[in-house]
Amino acid sequence: MAKTIFIETLQEGDRIDELFLVKSARLAETRAGKPYLILTVMDKSGELTGPVWDNAERFQELCQPGECIRVKGMVQSYREKLQLKVDEVTPVAKEETDMADFLPATIHSRTEMAAELQKIISTVTNPFIRKLLGRFFKKGEIWDRFQDAPAAKGIHHAYVGGLLEHTLSMARVADMLSGHYEGVDRSLLIAGALLHDLGKIEELYMENGLIDYTARGRLKGHLVIGSEMVGKVAAQIADFPEELLEQLQHLILSHHGRQEYGSPTVPMTVEAFLLNYIDELDSKMNVLEQLRRKLNSTEMSWSDYQRSLERYLYLNALQDEKTEAGRKEEGLTVRQQTLF
Amino acid sequence: MAKTIFIETLQEGDRIDELFLVKSARLAETRAGKPYLILTVMDKSGELTGPVWDNAERFQELCQPGECIRVKGMVQSYREKLQLKVDEVTPVAKEETDMADFLPATIHSRTEMAAELQKIISTVTNPFIRKLLGRFFKKGEIWDRFQDAPAAKGIHHAYVGGLLEHTLSMARVADMLSGHYEGVDRSLLIAGALLHDLGKIEELYMENGLIDYTARGRLKGHLVIGSEMVGKVAAQIADFPEELLEQLQHLILSHHGRQEYGSPTVPMTVEAFLLNYIDELDSKMNVLEQLRRKLNSTEMSWSDYQRSLERYLYLNALQDEKTEAGRKEEGLTVRQQTLF
Amino acid sequence: MAKTIFIETLQEGDRIDELFLVKSARLAETRAGKPYLILTVMDKSGELTGPVWDNAERFQELCQPGECIRVKGMVQSYREKLQLKVDEVTPVAKEETDMADFLPATIHSRTEMAAELQKIISTVTNPFIRKLLGRFFKKGEIWDRFQDAPAAKGIHHAYVGGLLEHTLSMARVADMLSGHYEGVDRSLLIAGALLHDLGKIEELYMENGLIDYTARGRLKGHLVIGSEMVGKVAAQIADFPEELLEQLQHLILSHHGRQEYGSPTVPMTVEAFLLNYIDELDSKMNVLEQLRRKLNSTEMSWSDYQRSLERYLYLNALQDEKTEAGRKEEGLTVRQQTLF
Amino acid sequence: MAKTIFIETLQEGDRIDELFLVKSARLAETRAGKPYLILTVMDKSGELTGPVWDNAERFQELCQPGECIRVKGMVQSYREKLQLKVDEVTPVAKEETDMADFLPATIHSRTEMAAELQKIISTVTNPFIRKLLGRFFKKGEIWDRFQDAPAAKGIHHAYVGGLLEHTLSMARVADMLSGHYEGVDRSLLIAGALLHDLGKIEELYMENGLIDYTARGRLKGHLVIGSEMVGKVAAQIADFPEELLEQLQHLILSHHGRQEYGSPTVPMTVEAFLLNYIDELDSKMNVLEQLRRKLNSTEMSWSDYQRSLERYLYLNALQDEKTEAGRKEEGLTVRQQTLF
Amino acid sequence: MAKTIFIETLQEGDRIDELFLVKSARLAETRAGKPYLILTVMDKSGELTGPVWDNAERFQELCQPGECIRVKGMVQSYREKLQLKVDEVTPVAKEETDMADFLPATIHSRTEMAAELQKIISTVTNPFIRKLLGRFFKKGEIWDRFQDAPAAKGIHHAYVGGLLEHTLSMARVADMLSGHYEGVDRSLLIAGALLHDLGKIEELYMENGLIDYTARGRLKGHLVIGSEMVGKVAAQIADFPEELLEQLQHLILSHHGRQEYGSPTVPMTVEAFLLNYIDELDSKMNVLEQLRRKLNSTEMSWSDYQRSLERYLYLNALQDEKTEAGRKEEGLTVRQQTLF
Amino acid sequence: MAKTIFIETLQEGDRIDELFLVKSARLAETRAGKPYLILTVMDKSGELTGPVWDNAERFQELCQPGECIRVKGMVQSYREKLQLKVDEVTPVAKEETDMADFLPATIHSRTEMAAELQKIISTVTNPFIRKLLGRFFKKGEIWDRFQDAPAAKGIHHAYVGGLLEHTLSMARVADMLSGHYEGVDRSLLIAGALLHDLGKIEELYMENGLIDYTARGRLKGHLVIGSEMVGKVAAQIADFPEELLEQLQHLILSHHGRQEYGSPTVPMTVEAFLLNYIDELDSKMNVLEQLRRKLNSTEMSWSDYQRSLERYLYLNALQDEKTEAGRKEEGLTVRQQTLF
């Protein structure tokens, strides 16, 4: 059964019979002592919560977080917010579904981004670096995880494919700036852009729609993990120059720019300075883009207070924007050509 | 009399008869009680100091800081550094000289940079902004001063034409990034790049090879001065939209990125975030470039401790670099095409 | 209909028929599915919230935020807090009411404070400064708004007339200290005190009892706005000395004392140092005064944790204090003579 | 023998026969191997250094730091600075001199300041506080040392009588502000002003013109020492209210305003807030006053970079200022009446 | 009536008739308008909340915070948390109970810790210090309060006996390290460890299970209070060397290590450095220990975000741990021998 | 030829014929134009500088930094400091000398410290950790370099053998504290202590008496280098548990305690907290010890201002101390037994 209706398009009064992912389900009790279930479901476009008044215990068993379910019910309004009144829940095998329907994901085609990234690698002139990049970004477990991984837990690019999107965007900017500034080692800078967050595929994991840290991720951090991954693969390439490796690892280790942001060493080479700025730039631009995608009006208006940025923002909607659910069908590639 | 020999090419034993600018001259006294003059002269390639043993008082009168002088003498070595043994000093009228020979200056052609900047202005689509930019960057006092001004007192682009070089480089990067990121108002961002340091032509002045702050510059700062200048000119353009002006002034006022760096407000719009990053990026790249131009070897090596950056740097020389004095004659424009 | 009873004097069991300002009104729903209205009303002495069980939708239309309404109902106690049980709501035309009854306001007479301020201006000896002050503080839009404006959004003097009260108090202290310390330019310091927060009349607006920032206010900040306002008016006064203007603008721009507090330049003149201290002093004293006005006991006791000050405070009530509602009738002027 | 000529009035070519205090004297050696003495002498108006070519070893014995000497010699110019060519040195017994001639000191009459301070104490209404103040500021060792002590080692009021000057100035401001702000406990605030730096008479000592810290001063700090002194004296006053003492000690302990400035607790009472501001204000005003006393021109000009303030200052000379040496004879009391 | 069952051992369905301490009791009202009581009771092992549906007003009178009550009722589960359904409440005289049953307390025997501490004092070789320590840690009010006091309000050792536990643990570490590092004055360091938090017995008070600050504690801080206490007692010991006292007071005043953490002076002696590190070390180890005591599994797992430490922690349960209630009976001394 | 006299024992007038290490030698020129050599020599006890008046150029060739030379000459006093008047310089083959005579070094026997460290390893109970430690601290290049390496460039333990001394001291403290605090994994903590600075053998190098950073050291930092080294060796040990390795690497990576001090992750385990405190403690105690070894008096006195600690220190000499040169002969082992 394919998913056809997405949460962000639902309106009060809609009757539904649709697939969702269970985010959480917990038992509560009415004043009268009768148990009921408070169920939260999600798909890639948002979340919806609502009560299941009958058969609470039985449904709770079906509704394990991360499971796919088929829900029959109705969309109601409660305290000016939509809620889902659930009449019936049926389990659905994950194999029959496309997880991309349920998890928030990049709006760009991962296939096309991957191809673009391969094309950039082919332009790297330093043969050792090109070989090294080839080892990571070719068929295999790392490359598979790389394409699915989010780029962060909760700030920027925090969705399926976010790491790929962020990495590719940075590589494009790195390409531009290595043409603009004299004397930049383009091979090193491109490699830095492509590998700087590599460690995130071991630092973060995504389960049932939630991104969280692995123990290794917290204990070592993605900078050190990424540096180690690069060190191990370089050791398998004959005659990989030691200093080239050290400069590359320096790019990864220093890309947060300051020790207080978690970099054990600060940028000390031209490429390390550039990489740090490109990373900050691209991360912030994604935060702003995510906020703008939720706006309706092309008029400038003030956002809520953004705690992570410690300020209010003055923004308008991205102008040619469509609903996210509809975007897919109409072919994303056209607009994308202008982005990448 | 044209200047033909520059300080950076002098070697021990050279006999000279050449023009210089006086940087400083102060009287000292030998143990035996005889007065002598410690004279420091400069040209665009560097400085040289040395004693004038005879006629100290008479020569001191000629050697006012900022005056042009013709010096006959010899280059000697003293404690492993070169010094100038002065035999004769003659005054030279400033009109007979080209000040560009004496002051450190951008290595790029200011004429070509100015033309490039004009071309960028012509691509700005918002008519109000294009008109506003035209008022500043056309024949007149502001435009004249803009082309000569340094971009800072002592950190980055601290030389004649530095403001123009920094401004143009930022406009080029702004152009690239407004093409890369979706939904950026290119007109605003280009204007922000071109006007962000405009106030520096009133904040700084250059006299006799020394850059310093004006009283107004210290009391108000170039961010506020620039914002005021833009406000005044916009008031002369019919129907200039008030909010457009506020956003433009916000770009100028917030471009240092943080209050502790002197911005009265922090970036709150997409363009303000970008402008702040482009400014930091371009300033730092110039600092690194200046350091690299002083290096000889293409091998990576460690710089002295850089107090302003609080770190050591790992750098090599810009590879196809020539001596600065020789660069001019050979036609700078070729390499420049790759930079801008 | 004149307002006679104020919220801070209400007690459990009171039956009321009184005018209030609507602060907010939102629909909720009982378990049984019946809609009701949660209404919050305010007057200058405080706020009160309560349910409107019947005709929720109809009353919601009347109860737009900022509207005046006449409420019949009863004061009840719910979870140890007073709430308002509303029986009937009737719309009231704003023209029939005195807004000063509804908004929190200075406890001092604005007329008398304005007169006092005029008297201080008349003692300023520098003719240019006296003329400049006259332009701002005379009949006209700026002067009108100045007398109503709050001095801040939520920390100190955050009420109608707060800007006038804060400004006058600072001018009085500036007067004292310019007599105490040798070599202070009294004209400049008084002008700095009177104009330092002038930009707030464009930075903040007050609507329906809520103070918020304008777009211009957030994008430029009241320091820059105030400096611009002064610059524009000075440009209209013949021969206004340029350096005098720069020093005056420096006072405004630097009065927050540190860049991290939003001043683009730090105090560099004797008057700028004094102004910064006087501003901090007067703001903090108002914060403490507001807290003390809410206390009952003349015994010292500990306040709640004050997040904005990051500490607990040890305070007692202002001793000869009366309830605020009663204060007006009895003639405020007596006590005021001791304050100003 | 009375001192008649002061260092700040000396000019090149003056022949002198005058008393000075030895600041330092160290042996050096000419190239030819002959020992000579580099002697630095001081009086209250400044310092002067110069060589003693002959009898170096013998004169060194006479010239112990802190000793008074009679010097015959000549004022010369060396590298554009004045130096003292010493021909003869004779020892002088300290009893025959007035130490006030040699140490930098307040320009105000200590006798008058002491009388003024007594008058202020007599206006304190709280009997316990008045009694406590009386114990400190009456004939005795503490009162004697208080009148001589400097207020700091090197920042503000760093001269004989500086503590008295700073304390009195603060008490005057405290008096003004306790009249201006409603509900201030004037007795407490005046006491806080008078006692806040009391601990400095044990924290600092002045010897031979140099101010330095005592071991106790460094190990405990003048805040804690002062609080202890007050605690001990209060314990000797019958029925001194415990809470009154705690509030008073709180004023002393918190008067640096922030923990990072050395206050173990931050201001938590109205009086503690005021005292902290008054202290910062008065200290900074003295720093500026000292700088202005060294200027000649009434035109505003830029100071050197002030490291302790992290900025340049824009200052002019205090206008009716005279040379310090001459001031005394002409009767200081006239101008003083305007200061205090 | 002795307490036999502790809150941490209760399970759903348990019927109870047991003693508790009232933590809070507040009246609420059902939708139907009937008042009921929300009662929170505590014992040393935890807290439990629940409704008292009947006789709310009557029971509220009995249930004053800090009173002992006997409760008959049942343990229920509500929203997956246990709650207490109260059927009957009877007052209990405090004299009939052992307060140690109700307040969270050190798990170590206070008697044994006190003995251990006495033994350490007997090893102090400096006679003045040993005498001084004897004055504090002997029968008397201070020693009584010392053994009961918590060591902090809410971070570490925040329970009855916590001050004694923390003090003893630090003395043991001080003993070890003074043996390890050459040239440490063991007497001073041991005294510093024993007296560093002495002021807390006046800074904090414990009432009805709640720890809070006294007015003196907030106004002066425990560092200054402790230093004063030591100063007073030393003054009663004949010939107590002044410098020894100053060093000891320095240890107390500087033991927070930095001014921004509330120390008026920073560590300047060998012993002061050591004491500061030992204090930080021991405090943090207690925080971790408290967290580990609440864990069940010996597997490492991630804690919730610890706001006070600004991080997540990776911890396992303390392995040989038993329920706290049961621990007492089985004789704490065995395990304790390994701890102390 | 064996070295018998050490620089710290030299006195004015001594005639010498002794071996030294050349630290630097640079040519200067007398006023008369004659070149002379300014030579600085060192041995483990200090440095001495002096002129070589004759044959300057020839001697300069012999005196390359890092070379051993035999010097005949005399100790003179110049400007109250000792200097060396060199009469003759002869080259000496390094093989004929013992480098330990020339470089500042630990005062403890490296052989004994190494044995002590081996003994501690043998007490580690976790077999994987014991095996891992065995790989590093056994015959081989790493172990050789470890015993010679300094522990820092310029702050603490900055001498030959400093890393071994610091590591062993920390292991001893780790041993003590793992016995004191319940539930510490002793094997992990001991391993953390032994390996925490392992990366320093690649981060720093010592050449001719100067400690400096390697390129790798600056680019990656010793925390990351050490973590990598441990990772590589663990990979060679069959079945080394992955989580054990991660915890061990976490200890190394987090041991600076804060990100701003260069740790990419902060301590999150019990052992990581302890290790960080032990490292800070031991480093500071060494700084104090070095200062105390230079003092003569057992009286407490104030040090110069210590920039790295931002304070003055109150210290006395280590009491039973002897001159360093003489210490060796008398058998260091006795006192050492009490230290380790």
Pairing between strand D46-52 and C314-315? unpaired
Mean local confidence (pLDDT), C171-200: 97
Q: What does the alpha-carbon distance between residue D275 and residue D22 come to, in Å, rounded to a whole number? A: 39
Four-residue CA torsion sign, D50, D53, D54, D56: positive
> What is Dmax (Cα atoms) for chain D?
76
Q: Which residues contact E319 (CB under 8 A, 6 or more apart)?
A: E298, F183
Enumerate the residues of chain E whose CB falls inside 8 A of the CB of residue F319.
183
Across the interface, which of B26, B28, B218 has its CB nearest the CB of D312? Answer: B218
Enumerate the residues of chain B whose CB falls inside 8 A of the CB of residue C253.
219-221, 224, 264
Q: Which residues contact B141 (CB under 8 A, 6 or more apart)?
A: none
Candidates F265, F266, F269, F275: best to mutate against A (most CBs of A within 10 A) is F265
Provide φ and ψ at E14, rounded to 5°: -60, 135
Q: Are E247 and E225 in contact (CB under 8 A)?
A: no
Which residues of B lie inside 8 Å of F (Cβ-Cβ)? 78-80, 300, 302, 312, 314
Half-sphere exposure of C207 (CA within 13 A, CB side): 8
Candidates C34, C74, C79, C316: best to mutate against E (most CBs of E within 10 A) is C79
**pLDDT confidence of residue C330:** 35
Size of interface A-F (CB pairs under 8 A): 80
Shortest distance, CA F134 to any CA of chain E (angstroms): 26
Q: Do B314 and F218 touch (CB under 8 A)?
A: yes
In which element (H, E) is residue C216 found?
helix C215-235
CB atoms under 10 Å from CB of B127, counted, come to 10
- Pick the residue from chain D with its C-alpha nearest to C274: D281
**pLDDT confidence of residue F322:** 42
**pLDDT confidence of residue D280:** 97
Question: Which tens digits make up the pLDDT trace of F267-301?
Answer: 999 999 999 999 999 999 999 999 999 888 889 99
**pLDDT confidence of residue D286:** 96
Q: Are B82 and B75 in contact (CB under 8 A)?
A: yes
Q: What does the alpha-carbon distance between residue B281 and residue B160 come to, in Å, rounded to a whole number? A: 21
Classify residue B305 by its DSSP letter: P
**pLDDT confidence of residue D328:** 42
Query: What is the distance, to the nearest Å, from the Cα of residue A82 to the centroid of all Cα atoms in its chain?
Result: 26
Question: Which tens digits make up the pLDDT trace of E116-153?
Answer: 999 999 999 999 999 999 999 988 899 999 998 998 88
Q: Do D264 and E262 touch (CB under 8 A)?
A: yes
Q: What does the alpha-carbon distance between residue D129 and residue D142 come to, in Å, rounded to a whole number? A: 17
Enumerate the residues of chain E whose CB falls inside 8 A of the CB of residue F277.
277, 280-281, 284
In which element (H, E) is residue C334 found?
helix C333-339
Shortest distance, CA D289 to any CA of chain B (angstroms): 20
Q: Which residues of chain F have pLDDT under 70?
A: 1, 29-33, 79-80, 155, 208-209, 319-340
Residue with tokens 């005057």: D172
Q: Which residues contact D188 (CB under 8 A, 6 or more apart)?
A: D126, D129, D244, D247, D248, D251, D271
- Tens-level pLDDT at each residue, chain A (340 residues): 678 899 988 988 899 999 999 988 888 766 666 778 889 998 888 889 888 888 888 888 888 888 899 999 999 877 667 888 888 899 998 788 887 788 888 999 999 999 999 999 999 999 999 999 999 998 889 999 999 899 888 767 888 899 999 999 999 999 999 999 999 999 999 999 999 999 999 998 877 667 889 999 999 999 999 999 999 999 999 999 999 999 999 999 999 999 999 999 999 999 999 999 999 999 999 999 999 998 888 899 999 999 999 999 999 998 654 444 334 433 322 222 222 2
- Tens-level pLDDT at each residue, chain B (340 residues): 678 899 988 988 899 999 999 988 888 766 666 778 889 998 888 889 888 888 888 888 888 888 899 999 999 877 667 888 888 899 998 788 877 788 888 999 999 999 999 999 999 999 999 999 999 998 889 999 999 899 888 767 888 899 999 999 999 999 999 999 999 999 999 999 999 999 999 998 877 667 889 999 999 999 999 999 999 999 999 999 999 999 999 999 999 999 999 999 999 999 999 999 999 999 999 999 999 998 888 899 999 999 999 999 999 998 654 444 334 433 332 222 222 2
Q: Do F314 and D219 touch (CB under 8 A)?
A: yes
**pLDDT confidence of residue A77:** 79
Mean pLDDT lowest among C14-23, C187-196, C223-232? C14-23
Q: What does the alpha-carbon distance between residue D143 and residue D136 come to, in Å, rounded to a whole number? A: 6
Neighbours of chain C (3+ CB pairs under 8 A): A, B, D, E
Across the interface, which of A219, A260, A265 has its CB nearest the CB of F220? Answer: A265
**pLDDT confidence of residue D335:** 28
**pLDDT confidence of residue D327:** 40
- Tens-level pLDDT at each residue, chain D (340 residues): 678 899 988 988 899 999 999 988 888 766 666 778 889 998 888 889 888 888 888 888 888 888 899 999 999 877 667 888 888 899 998 788 887 788 888 999 999 999 999 999 999 999 999 999 999 998 889 999 999 899 888 768 889 899 999 999 999 999 999 999 999 999 999 999 999 999 999 998 877 667 889 999 999 999 999 999 999 999 999 999 999 999 999 999 999 999 999 999 999 999 999 999 999 999 999 999 999 998 888 899 999 999 999 999 999 998 654 444 334 433 332 222 222 2
Classify residue C100 by its DSSP letter: G
Candidates A29, A37, A220, A260: best to mutate against E (most CBs of E within 10 A) is A29
Q: Are F25 and F55 in contact (CB under 8 A)?
A: no
> Rg for chain C (alpha carbons), in Å?
23
Average pLDDT, chain B: 88
CB atoms under 10 Å from CB of F62, counted, come to 16
Which residues of C lie inside 8 Å of B (Cβ-Cβ)? 215-216, 218-221, 223-224, 227-228, 231, 243, 246-247, 249-250, 253, 259-265, 268
Q: Which residue has the higher pLDDT, E230 or E43?
A: E230
Enumerate the residues of chain A whose CB falls inside 8 A of the CB of residue E80.
26-27
In which element (H, E) is residue E71 found?
strand E68-78
Question: For residue B274, which of A221, F199, A134, A287 has the smallest C-alpha distance?
Answer: A287
Enumerate the residues of chain B whose CB falls inside 8 A of the CB of residue A169.
180
Mean pLDDT lowest among C221-235, D166-180, E319-333? E319-333
* Cα distance from N-terminal residue to C-terminal residue, chain E: 34
Tokens representing residue E305 in the block: 């975000």
Across the interface, which of B27, B215, B218 has its CB nearest the CB of D80? Answer: B27
Q: How far is CA C112 from CA C109, C116, C131, C133, C333, in A?
A: 5, 6, 22, 18, 8
